[in-house]
Amino acid sequence: MPTVVVARTPAPGRDREFDRWLQRLAAASRHAPGHVQSDVQPPDDIHPGEWVTVYQFENTDTLNDWLTSPTRLSIMEAGAELSIGQAREQIIALTNQTDPVTAVVSFRVKSGNEPRNAELQATLIARMSTFPGYLRSEVFQPVPGVQDDTVVVFSFDSREHLDDWLCSNERQALLGEVEDSVDGDRTLNVVGGFGGWFADRGTASVKTWKQASVVLLALFPTALTLTVLRRWLLPDVGVVGAVFIGNVFGVAILSWFLMPLLTRLLDGWLRR
């Protein structure tokens, strides 16, 4: 599928207007025939100072129809004064990206160690965010009477990048510091490859962040419930056995029950 990547530099002091204009442009492209996906990326370390818009279409004809359409040309004209310099445009063919991988870690903090543990978790996440492929993370604090564990959920763009972080010396060193504030073992569950759960809707048409959001919605309560049940029924199981049990039952519950249910319920939102 052909893809066009356009990099533009906003006029000084007009970043907010520029962002709204690019979002309007991307939104209009989604109504064009043959549209597969589009995305607006703000400046980052890879393209500092530039906003990048990515369009992907089913074939070259539908892409060219969009690029020369009156709708796009009208929006381009309306936002001409919002950017400076010449836009850099490149048409390429991209293969589908690998599906993101999400890990869920749960652990119980020793009484009185909450501030220290929170500080260490913040350091851990800050270091993790610098690793290639990092997408997002979230910490769920204990809820009295509902959830005794602290749960950390984080995602990478591929299993390879996730494993790089999980096996890194930096993570091992930081976990060594965390040990004194944790009561018992940590439980780690990994779920990768979202594509199969969204295949009926066309993986390419479901945005990655929506896939990740739905998986997180199903994964978090599943991992939490399995951890509680495992500690109640099999309190003496070692770390390897606990992770294996959690992964087996977690993937089964997600694949054959929760994900089919959620993708049906959220079908309209996923397709938008």
| 90 to 54, 156, 243: CA distances (angstroms) | 10, 27, 45
Go through the chain and tell me how many residues it has.
Answer: 272
Domain boundary among 93, 128, 153: 93
pLDDT digits (tens, 9 = 90+) for 119-153: 888 888 889 989 998 988 888 777 666 567 788 88
pLDDT for 193 equals 52
**For the chain, percent of residues with pLDDT exceeding 90:** 11
In this structure, the answer to whether residues 189 and 152 fall within a common structural domain is yes
pLDDT for 73 equals 92
In this structure, the answer to whether residues 135 and 69 fall within a common structural domain is no
pLDDT for 210 equals 67
Reported confidence tier of residue 31, pLDDT bands at 50, 70, 90: very high
In this structure, the answer to whether residues 26 and 147 fall within a common structural domain is no
Question: How many domains in the chain?
Answer: 2
Q: What is the CATH number of the domain that holds 238?
A: 3.30.70.100
In this structure, the answer to whether residues 165 and 228 fall within a common structural domain is yes
In this structure, the answer to whether residues 67 and 108 fall within a common structural domain is no
In this structure, the answer to whether residues 248 and 200 fall within a common structural domain is yes
In this structure, the answer to whether residues 133 and 38 fall within a common structural domain is no
pLDDT: is 236 or 171 the higher one?
Answer: 171
Q: How far is CA 22 from the centre of its chain?
A: 22
Domain boundary among 71, 93, 115: 93
In this structure, the answer to whether residues 16 and 83 fall within a common structural domain is yes
In this structure, the answer to whether residues 246 and 113 fall within a common structural domain is yes
Measured CA to CA, the distance from residue 169 to residue 181 in angstroms comes to 20
User: 123: domain range?
Assistant: 101-271
In this structure, the answer to whether residues 155 and 182 fall within a common structural domain is yes
In this structure, the answer to whether residues 58 and 128 fall within a common structural domain is no
- The region of weakest confidence among 34-43, 63-72, 81-90, 242-251 is 242-251
pLDDT for 196 equals 47
In this structure, the answer to whether residues 121 and 255 fall within a common structural domain is yes
Among left, alpha and beta (phi > 0; psi -120 to 50; other), residue 45 is alpha
* CB 168, CB 156: distance < 8 Å: no
- The region of weakest confidence among 137-151, 152-166, 199-213, 224-238 is 199-213
Domain boundary among 93, 124, 154: 93
What is the layout of strands, in order, in the sheet containing 150-156? Answer: 134-140, 150-156, 101-109, 182-191
Beta partners for residue 137, in sequence order: 154
Most confident of 23-27, 235-239, 263-267: 23-27
pLDDT for 152 equals 83
DSSP classification of residue 192: -
Rounded to two decimals, the pTM is 0.41
- Residues with Cβ within 8 Å of 216's Cβ and at least 6 positions away in sequence, in order, are 102, 138, 153
